[in-house]
């Protein structure tokens, strides 16, 4: 048996890559698509795909305090998770402190509350930042949370060059679909490109952006729109980085993407294949990169939260399993599987472990990872892939007809498309045309109200009290001086990252550093598109 072959459980020899020549029925060639690892990467960005390295199993987690979330991280790591993914609460995402009046009722509710470097210490207690890969879903305050992460690594004596992970840093999709933005467009993009530049010089192994289609898909767009809108956003970021003096190969190899995976099993597989092809073609045509890594679309996938139901919640485990399998067939580099109880509340320890085990079973038990792009050559897969490529490219052209992603956002173009798609799907569900088991088909009256994590209400008060004590005990003169240096950076062309790191090391809070930026940059309200 050759090195590039393996066997099924019944002993049938199979190849690492399926081609017409290796198939029993070779009547339908994989027209126009080279092998995995070859441009345009439709079939995958690596020749061997998962045979050499499995996708990163990166479960999204965060709730209450840093101490509570650290315990969840350790549970997941001890259960075989291979990367961390941090969920921050709404105040943290908006650059507000836990004791801010606007934060009342939201501290630690849908993510972990992070106010100071002390919280970061607790969040990663007994976790080696030099070894673990950490993803942080943070956008408006992305520079702040990355600065805290770097400050903690500096404190622990871990070389910045060893840090591995991703910061989402995708403000466009916040304007379009999610709403957790703070600053006006120009200033937000300035922060994005500051982070690009600083990481290029200081954090070479860090992914500086995760351009997210996930949140637009959750808001209601179609698979074609998810790909088209995401890639048009990514092209805008590339153009802006080049405007500030970067070369395409300085940052594109560290651009990553983030997609949802929904219930149309074959469409989703085709969507991922199409996205790789479109990114290769678009970035090659527009920027002529010399580094092939700039042309490879690397992406994280999360199973679709919007498809989960409070009715018959155990059905969600089945939905998630199929969505996860579709993601693997599609060639994802990283995967989060949702927990079955998330439509009811934050996931319990039991639910997150089942979600992780779902990935592990796909990886280790059912052998689908032993062949790269195993569905290539399927008439339907190739047809769907080609149609998504065509439809998404037409949408990208349409966005450019408005002047590009940002100009279209200011006109409400993307927002309007998402609203219309969401409304069409909602009508299909309400009419029963689109079946949802437990909701409009095979309905039962029983609802289990005991699922979901119950948060300790006292933990938010303890977070606020802890923050107040830190503000009392720190050297406020040093904090004020460091904040003044941050203000100077905001009003100049100096990169904000080092002043941010210094201020946070002196004990400045997330709310204070973002308060300076609010004062200097202002705020903005995105058009709704309605």
Q: What would you measure as the largest C-alpha separation in the chain, in angstroms?
A: 76
Question: Residue 9 has what pLDDT?
Answer: 54
In tens, the pLDDT along 194-222 reads 999 999 999 999 999 999 999 999 999 99
CA angle 102-103-109, nearest 5°? 145
Mean pLDDT of the chain: 93
Per-residue pLDDT, 33: 66
**How confident is residue 3, by pLDDT bands cut at 50, 70 and 90?**
low
- Name the segment(s) of the chain with CATH classification 3.20.20.240: 38-431
Whether the Cβ atoms of residue 372 and residue 45 lie closer than 8 Å to each other: no
Which range, of 79-83, 248-252, 483-487, 494-498, averages the lowest pLDDT?
79-83
Check residue 21 and give its pLDDT.
Answer: 53
Band of pLDDT at residue 451, cut at 50, 70 and 90: confident
Count of beta carbons in the 10 Å neighbourhood of residue 214: 29
pLDDT of residue 11: 60
The pLDDT value given to residue 453: 73
Per the CB < 8 A criterion, the answer to whether 179 and 215 are in contact is no
DSSP three-state, residue 99: coil
Find how far residue 440's CA is from the centre of its chain. 31
142 pLDDT band (50/70/90 cuts)? very high
Residue 437, helix vs strand vs coil? strand
The pLDDT of 45-73, averaged and rounded, is 94
pLDDT at position 10, please? Answer: 53
Q: What is the mean pLDDT of residues 93-116?
A: 96
- What values do phi and psi take at 56, rounded to 5? -75, 130
| 3-state secondary structure at position 37 | coil
pLDDT tens for 511-524 read: 999 999 999 999 99
7: enclosing H helix or E strand: strand 5-7
Confidence band (pLDDT; 50, 70, 90) for 121? very high
Asked if pLDDT for residue 117 goes beyond 60, the answer is: yes
Q: How confident is the model at residue 8 (pLDDT cuts 50, 70, 90)?
A: low
Does CATH place domain 38-431 in 3.20.20.240? Answer: yes
- Residue 34 has what pLDDT? 85
Q: Which long-range contacts (CB under 8 A, 24 or more apart) does 367-370 make?
A: 367/6, 367/8, 367/9, 368/325, 368/328, 368/329, 369/49, 369/50, 369/51, 369/54, 369/328, 370/6, 370/14, 370/16, 370/50, 370/51
Each residue's pLDDT tens digit, 251-297: 999 999 999 999 999 999 999 999 999 999 999 999 999 999 999 99
The pLDDT value given to residue 15: 62
Residue 158, pLDDT > 80, answer: yes
Whether the per-residue pLDDT at 303 is higher than 90: the answer is yes
Going by pLDDT thresholds of 50, 70 and 90, the confidence category of residue 418 is very high
Confidence of residue 57 (pLDDT cuts 50, 70, 90): very high
Look at 69-83, 86-100, 393-407, 451-465 and tell me which has the smallest mean pLDDT.
Answer: 451-465
Residues near 140 by beta carbon (within 8 Å), at least 6 away in sequence: 93, 94, 95, 171, 174, 180, 181, 182, 183, 188
**pLDDT for residue 24:** 37
CB-based contact 118:97 (threshold 8 Å): no
- What is the average per-residue pLDDT within 427-433? 96
pLDDT at 166 over 90: yes
Look at the alpha carbons of 26, 28, 29, 35 in this order and tell me if their dihedral is positive or negative: negative
Q: What is the pLDDT of residues 356-411, one digit of tens each?
A: 999 999 999 999 999 999 999 999 999 999 999 999 999 999 999 999 999 999 99
Q: Give the per-residue pLDDT at 26.
A: 32
d(C-alpha 393, C-alpha 223), whole Å: 13
Q: What is the pLDDT of residue 27?
A: 34
Q: What is the mean pLDDT of residues 130-136?
A: 96
* pLDDT tens, position by position, 346-363: 899 999 999 999 999 999
Q: Give the pLDDT confidence score for residue 108 in this predicted structure.
A: 93
> What distance, in Å, lies between the first and last C-alpha atoms of the chain?
61
Contact between 385 and 40 (Cβ < 8 Å): no
What is the C-alpha to C-alpha distance for residues 45 and 57, in angstroms, rounded to an integer? 18
pLDDT of residue 102: 95
């Amino acid at each position: 048996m050759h090195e590039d072959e393996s066997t099924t459980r019944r002993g049938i020899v199979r190849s690492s890559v399926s081609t017409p020549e290796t198939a029993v029925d070779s009547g339908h060639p994989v027209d126009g698509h080279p092998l995995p690892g070859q441009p345009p990467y439709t079939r995958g960005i690596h020749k061997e795909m998962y045979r050499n390295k499995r996708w990163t199993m990166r479960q999204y987690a965060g709730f209450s305090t840093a101490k509570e979330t650290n315990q969840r991280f350790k549970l997941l790591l001890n259960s075989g998770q291979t990367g961390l993914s941090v969920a921050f609460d709404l105040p943290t995402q908006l650059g507000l402190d836990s004791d801010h009046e606007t934060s009342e009722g939201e501290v630690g509710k849908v993510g972990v509350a992070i106010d100071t470097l002390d919280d970061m210490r607790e969040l990663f207690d007994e976790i080696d930042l030099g070894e673990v890969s950490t993803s942080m879903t943070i956008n408006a305050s992305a520079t702040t949370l990355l600065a805290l992460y770097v400050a903690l690594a500096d404190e622990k004596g871990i070389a910045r060059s060893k840090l591995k992970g991703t910061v989402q840093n995708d403000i466009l999709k916040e304007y379009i679909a999610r709403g957790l933005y703070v600053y006006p467009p120009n200033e937000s993009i300035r922060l994005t490109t500051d982070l690009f530049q600083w990481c290029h010089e200081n954090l070479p192994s860090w992914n500086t952006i995760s351009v997210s289609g996930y949140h637009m898909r959750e808001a209601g767009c179609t698979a074609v729109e998810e790909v088209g809108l995401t890639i048009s956003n990514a092209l805008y970021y590339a153009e802006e980085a080049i405007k500030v003096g970067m070369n395409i190969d300085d940052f594109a190899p560290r651009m990553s993407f983030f997609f949802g995976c929904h219930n149309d099993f074959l469409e989703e597989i085709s969507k991922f294949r199409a996205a790789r092809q479109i990114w290769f073609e678009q970035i090659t045509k527009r920027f002529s990169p010399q580094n092939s890594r700039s042309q490879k679309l690397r992406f994280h996938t999360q199973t679709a939260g919007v498809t989960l139901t409070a009715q018959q919640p155990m059905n969600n485990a089945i939905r998630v399993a199929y969505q996860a399998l579709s993601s693997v067939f599609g060639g994802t580099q990283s995967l989060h599987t949702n927990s079955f109880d998330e439509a009811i509340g934050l996931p319990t320890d039991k639910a997150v472990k089942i979600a992780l085990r779902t990935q592990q079973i796909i990886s280790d038990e059912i052998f689908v990872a032993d062949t790269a792009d195993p569905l290539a050559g399927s008439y339907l897969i190739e047809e769907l892939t080609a149609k998504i490529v065509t439809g998404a490219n037409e949408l990208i052209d349409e966005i450019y007809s408005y002047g590009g992603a940002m100009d279209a956002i200011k006109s409400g173009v993307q927002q309007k498309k998402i609203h219309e798609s969401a409304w069409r799907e909602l009508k299909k569900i309400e009419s029963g045309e689109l079946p949802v088991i437990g909701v409009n088909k095979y309905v039962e009256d029983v609802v289990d109200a005991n699922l979901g994590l119950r948060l300790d209400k006292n933990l938010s008060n303890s977070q606020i009290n802890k923050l107040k004590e830190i503000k009392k005990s720190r050297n406020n003169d040093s904090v004020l001086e460091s904040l003044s240096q941050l203000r100077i950076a905001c009003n100049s062309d100096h990169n904000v990252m080092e002043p941010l790191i210094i201020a946070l090391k002196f004990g400045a809070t997330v709310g204070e550093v973002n308060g300076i930026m609010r004062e200097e940059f202002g705020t903005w309200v995105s058009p709704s598109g309605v």
